[in-house]
Amino acid sequence: MGAIRKILGAVFIVLVIWGGYIAYTLSTASPKVSAEWGAVSEKTTEIKVSMDLQRPLLTPLDVEDLRFLFMDEQVGRLAELDYSPFGTEIKASLELDNEKVVDALLKYLENGERGDFTVVAKPKVLFLSGEFNVSKEIDEKVLEKIHLTAQSQEIAGLSLLKTPELKDTIVRYEGKEGDRAVFITELVLYNPNPYPIPVIKTGYKVWVNGLKLGDGESLKATVIPAGGMVRVPVKTYVLLSNIPKAWEMHVRNNETSTVRAEIFLRLQISIPGFSGTKDVTLKTINQTVKTDLIGEINRALSKA
């Protein structure tokens, strides 16, 4: 019996020392965490995460479940975990479902641009495991940041005739129609001419990386009074099936995309020297859009 007590006592002491080491390592560690893009396709986006613990934990560790939910949609999961009890580095592969991300974003817009992002995790240490989740409310007003303007210009070299000036754009989400998201874009137009201008048709088209992403057309004709201002509602369709491909191209091109947009008007004109309809391009946008999403992720991880 005495020998058994000594063995049990020794095991207990080892466990206490081991537990103390783990607690000390976790409490004093300043892990360095970094993320980078992995494989990306129309269907999925991989984010590779590396964590340097600086000291080995010397304990078996596993993550039985790790999911990312946005607007109650599972938009991502842990695809792979590389960990060794005797190593100092943990590597993880996170996989995002591009179509689910788009679905969640539409729910976010439908909910007034407010929703929750939740991480659900179930880690396992030795024989112990437990599930917990962390949620963060998101209320970024994306549509409120869309403001396009365009100066008035002469039409066909006629100083007596100028295009309406685009003062602002107001965008709201209206729902889905099949494979298209529907938005109403109100164009705030000002008429600088001393006579009213009938606007028969208004519309625009948008391309991203050469892919047609959306188009819109006014719901009705309108007349802009002389020196007056009107709001012209344009029903806008966004092609959801093209978003994953545009996203893939954006990430592959170092988070850089080319965006082209054209806003046009069909005007009914009746002035000395010209009478009839005239299609005019109110504004053409050709610009390169560059983001730093992976940089934002790394900056957030460095502050965590």
Q: pLDDT, tens digit, for every residue of 255-264?
A: 999 989 888 8
Residue ranges of the alpha helices (H) in the chain?
A: 2-28, 98-110, 243-252, 293-303
Q: In total, how many domains does the chain have?
A: 2
| Non-local CB neighbours of 272 within 8 Å, separated by 6+ positions | 160
Q: Pull the structure tokens for residue 119.
A: 């991480």
Same domain, 88 and 159: no
Confidence of residue 38 (pLDDT cuts 50, 70, 90): very high
- Three-state secondary structure call for residue 83: coil
Same domain, 134 and 186: no
| Non-local CB neighbours of 17 within 8 Å, separated by 6+ positions | none
For residue range 78-89, list pLDDT tens digits in order.
Answer: 899 898 888 888
Same domain, 50 and 127: yes
Same domain, 162 and 74: no
Within a domain: 286: yes
Same domain, 243 and 164: yes
Q: Give, in order, the Cα–Cα distances in Å from 85 to each of 48, 88, 135, 177.
A: 20, 8, 29, 52
Question: Which candidate, 270, 202, 195, places its Cα nearest to that of 231?
Answer: 202
The pLDDT of residue 1 is above 70: no
Which domain, by its residues, includes 45? 30-140
Same domain, 102 and 148: no
Q: How far apart are CA 100 and CA 73, in angstroms?
A: 7
Same domain, 182 and 257: yes
For residue range 214-226, list pLDDT tens digits in order.
Answer: 999 998 899 999 9
Q: How many CA atoms lie within 13 A of 187 on its CB side?
A: 30
| Residue 112 falls in which region: left (phi positive, over 0), alpha (psi -120 to 50) or beta | left
Higher pLDDT, 133 or 236: 236
* Inter-residue contact 139 to 111 (CB < 8 Å): no
Q: Give, in order, the Cα–Cα distances in Å from 258 to each of 39, 150, 186, 205, 287.
A: 21, 20, 24, 14, 6
* Inter-residue contact 234 to 186 (CB < 8 Å): yes
Same domain, 209 and 266: yes
Within a domain: 298: no
Q: How far apart are CA 36 and CA 97, in angstroms?
A: 17
Query: Given the structure tokens 């201002």, which residue do they identify?
Result: 229
- Three-state secondary structure call for residue 257: strand
Final residue before a domain boundary, out of 91, 109, 140: 140
Final residue before a domain boundary, out of 140, 157, 180: 140
Q: How far apart are CA 165 and CA 159, in angstroms?
A: 15
pTM for the structure as a whole = 0.79
Same domain, 151 and 192: yes
Same domain, 169 and 78: no
Compute CA 290 distance to the chain's CA centroid, rounded to the nearest angstrom.
13
> Which CATH number covers residue 123?
2.60.40.10
Same domain, 120 and 147: no
Q: Report, as an integer, the average pLDDT of 265-294.
A: 79
What is the sign of the dihedral through the CA atoms of 223, 228, 233 and 239?
A: positive
Same domain, 150 and 284: yes
Q: Residue 30: what pLDDT?
A: 62
Confidence of residue 12 (pLDDT cuts 50, 70, 90): very low
Question: What's the chain's average pLDDT?
Answer: 83
Final residue before a domain boundary, out of 140, 175, 190: 140
